[in-house]
Amino acid sequence: MSFKQLKNLELKDSMTAEFTLHDIENPDGTSPVLILAPATEVNKPYFNGLLRRSRKNMPKIQAQSFDTSMIQDNRDSDRVLYSRHVVKGWKNVMDDAGKKVQFNEENCKGFLDALPNWLFDNVRNFATIVRNFIDSEVEAPDAEETAKN
């Protein structure tokens, strides 16, 4: 018995997915598109950054002295980690003068800092969903069909 077909569902660190920020409309009618790497353990630099942050937060968690400021601190930390390790490129990102902005870590951090929290949270949520990075031509096994076997 073999299950080689499931190897196609493995996430690889080289996979990327495009996330369109439909809530932002540029002067030319386009929306910014972020090219994201997975924000999961397969992205080792990102995940190691998360682990370092967890160690820093552990005393507060153990003392049960966490509050909403921790949520904001984690989000701010993710803005840095995302600009370094998750956002790999972009399309249609424009400054307030309507000029296209070149992608680099510094510009990316500035863009992510400018996003409202709820919109950055949408980016974070997308980047953590493995299915967004799996090749769309590879279909997951059908649960009903599998159950019949």
- Residue 140 in any domain: the answer is no
Inform me whether the pLDDT recorded for 24 exceeds 80. yes
Could you report the per-residue pLDDT of 40-66, keeping only the tens digit for each? 999 999 999 988 877 666 666 556 666
- Residue 74 in any domain: the answer is yes
- Residue 145 in any domain: the answer is no
Structural domain tally of the chain?
1
**Residues spanned by the domain of 22:** 13-133
- Residue 138 in any domain: the answer is no
Predicted pLDDT of residue 137: 43
- Rounded mean pLDDT of 78-82? 96
- Rounded mean pLDDT of 79-91? 97
Residue 98: Cβ-neighbour burial (10 angstroms; 0-12, 13-18, 19+): exposed
Whole-number Å distance between alpha carbons of 54 and 51: 5
Start-to-end CA span in the chain (Å) = 13
Predicted pLDDT of residue 101: 97
Could you report the per-residue pLDDT of 88-142, keeping only the tens digit for each? 999 999 999 999 999 999 999 999 999 999 999 999 999 999 999 986 444 444 5
DSSP-assigned states of every residue in 31-87 = --EEEE---STTSHHHHHHHHHHHHHHHHHHHTT---HHHHHHHHHHHHHHIIIIIE
Tokens representing residue 32 in the block: 């910014």
Predicted pLDDT of residue 4: 84
Inform me whether the pLDDT recorded for 146 exceeds 50. no
Whole-number Å distance between alpha carbons of 107 and 95: 10
- Residue 8 in any domain: the answer is no
